[in-house]
């Protein structure tokens, strides 16, 4: 009996020791893994517009030039995040690089309206508090994304349009430029070409070569504090009339960020993106239907929009740092860079 008790005590003792060891080990493993990789993921994803781009229509030099600018934008935003900066700063800085490049339809190099102007729209959203800022129809703001951020942070409003937005910009010392700053010969020729086809009532050209509806830049980011942000900037649609505004400055259509789900920026035939409230719909599918970012974005971009023939794409990042970049056109200027060491820049489908 005594021997039995002794055995029982020893077993119990050994059992307790093993339990302690197991906990101690698992704890130390945890700590050592913490030291090896960053505890919190972060990353950035961008687009420079979707459209029916085909490799055959681009020279090697053109492709290299686009990829160089996309990489420069990603590098800029990623360095902000790497140094502990906010998703909001990363988004703004990245979009400024793209706005300042004549290659993209935003800021310098924006497309022309029917009456030969460049009318710019932009929006930015902070997923941590759902604050947002947007501007539409501005013609003298060098970097519309800066003005969108000022609307968010320095006014009580979310959206400002036209001359009023420019008066606010001047008060906030946002850089004003002469409208001629935005002009590039390529965009000017594109306007003349469409006007010619319009005069000739060449519906087949206007319906099939609809890249003039696209081209926008956008960015979404996750920072090391788990905050998400998104922004979008555009020159709109070549030959647009009547003060038309697309999806870009519409919160929930072209731009949306919510720490509960993801940050998104869209590009495409804006009217379809407004009607389908595209970026909020993707977020809602994640929040209410438990879809992953990829599943939700595919549901909207590759099913709903395809059914309606709404061409375009979306880029997004979720709170875990997962990236998605679906598009239903032939191509989309796009790329991402994440803290797990992955980095991609692509234009065409392959």
Distance, in Å, from the CA atom of 114 to the CA atom of 123, rounded to the nearest integer, reads 23
Q: Which residue is catalytic, options 94, 216, 232, 267?
A: 216
Q: Looking at 256, 327, 333, 336, which residue binds a second copy (CB under 8 A)?
A: 256
Catalytic status, residue 216:
yes
For residue 243, state whether it binds a second copy (rule: CB under 8 A).
yes
The pair of structure tokens assigned to 160 is 């400002």
Q: What part of residues 19-78 is at the interface with a second copy (CB under 8 A)? A: none
Q: Looking at 38, 116, 164, 179, which residue binds a second copy (CB under 8 A)?
A: 164
Distance, in Å, from the CA atom of 51 to the CA atom of 270, rounded to the nearest integer, reads 12
Q: Looking at 280, 319, 334, 337, which residue binds a second copy (CB under 8 A)?
A: 280
Contact 44, 336 (CB under 8 A): yes
Concatenating the DSSP letter of every residue in 32-78 gives HHHHHS-SS--EEEEEEEEE---GGGS-HHHHHHHHHHHHHHHHHHH
> What residues have CB less than 8 Å from 65, skipping those under 6 apart?
103
Partnered with residue 314 across adjacent β-strands are 266
For residue 167, state whether it binds a second copy (rule: CB under 8 A).
yes
- Closer to a second copy by CB, 144 or 252: give it: 252
Q: Looking at 251, 317, 325, 332, which residue binds a second copy (CB under 8 A)?
A: 251
For residue 303, state whether it binds a second copy (rule: CB under 8 A).
no
Q: Kindly provide the residue ranges of all beta strands, DSSP E only, lying in 150-226, ordered along the sequence.
A: 159-161, 217-222
Give whole-number Cα distances, 38 to 41, 82, 84, 236, 341, in Å.
7, 10, 12, 39, 11
Distance, in Å, from the CA atom of 94 to the CA atom of 231, rounded to the nearest integer, reads 9
Q: Looking at 41, 215, 231, 252, which residue binds a second copy (CB under 8 A)?
A: 252
- Closer to a second copy by CB, 46 or 138: give it: 138
Q: Looking at 3, 5, 199, 288, which residue binds a second copy (CB under 8 A)?
A: 288
CA nearest 91: which of 112, 73, 110? 73
Q: Which stretch binds a second copy (CB under 8 A): 49-57, 76-84, 124-132, 188-196?
A: 124-132
- Minimum CB distance to a second copy, residue 165 (Å): 5
For residue 165, state whether it binds a second copy (rule: CB under 8 A).
yes
Catalytic residues: 216
Residues that bind a second copy (CB under 8 A): 125, 130-132, 136-137, 155-165, 167-168, 240-246, 250-253, 256, 270-271, 274-277, 280-281, 284-285, 288-289, 308
């Amino acid at each position: 009996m005594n021997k039995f008790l002794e055995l029982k005590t020893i077993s119990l003792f050994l059992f307790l020791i093993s339990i302690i060891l197991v906990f101690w080990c698992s704890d130390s493993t945890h700590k050592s893994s913490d030291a090896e990789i960053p505890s919190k993921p972060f990353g950035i994803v961008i687009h420079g517009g979707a459209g029916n781009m085909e490799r055959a229509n681009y020279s090697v030099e053109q492709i290299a030039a686009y990829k160089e600018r996309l990489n420069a934008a990603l590098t800029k935003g990623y360095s902000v995040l790497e140094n502990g900066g906010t998703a909001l700063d990363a988004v703004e800085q990245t979009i400024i690089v793209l706005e300042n490049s004549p290659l993209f339809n935003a800021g310098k190099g924006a497309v022309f309206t029917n009456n030969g102007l460049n009318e710019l729209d932009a929006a930015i959203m902070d997923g941590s508090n759902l604050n947002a800022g947007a501007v539409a129809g501005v013609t003298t703001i060098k970097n519309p994304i800066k003005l969108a951020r000022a609307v968010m942070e320095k006014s009580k409003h979310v959206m400002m349009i036209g001359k009023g937005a420019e008066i606010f910009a001047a008060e906030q010392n946002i850089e004003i430029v002469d409208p001629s700053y935005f002009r590039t010969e390529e965009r000017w020729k594109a306007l003349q070409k469409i006007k010619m086809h319009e005069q000739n009532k060449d519906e087949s050209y206007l319906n099939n070569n609809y890249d003039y509806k696209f081209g926008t830049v956008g960015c979404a980011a996750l920072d090391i504090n788990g905050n998400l942000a998104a922004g979008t900037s555009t020159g709109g649609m070549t030959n647009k009339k009547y003060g038309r505004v697309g999806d870009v400055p519409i919160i929930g259509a072209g731009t949306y960020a919510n720490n509960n789900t993801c940050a998104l920026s869209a590009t495409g035939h804006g009217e379809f993106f407004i009607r389908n409230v595209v970026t909020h719909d993707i977020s809602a599918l994640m929040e209410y239907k438990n879809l992953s970012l990829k599943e939700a974005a595919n549901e909207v971009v590759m099913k709903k929009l395809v059914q309606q023939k709404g061409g375009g794409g979306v880029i997004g990042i979720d709170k875990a740092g997962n990236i998605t970049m679906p598009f239903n056109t032939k191509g989309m200027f796009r790329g991402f860079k994440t803290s797990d060491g992955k980095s991609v820049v692509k234009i065409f489908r392959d």
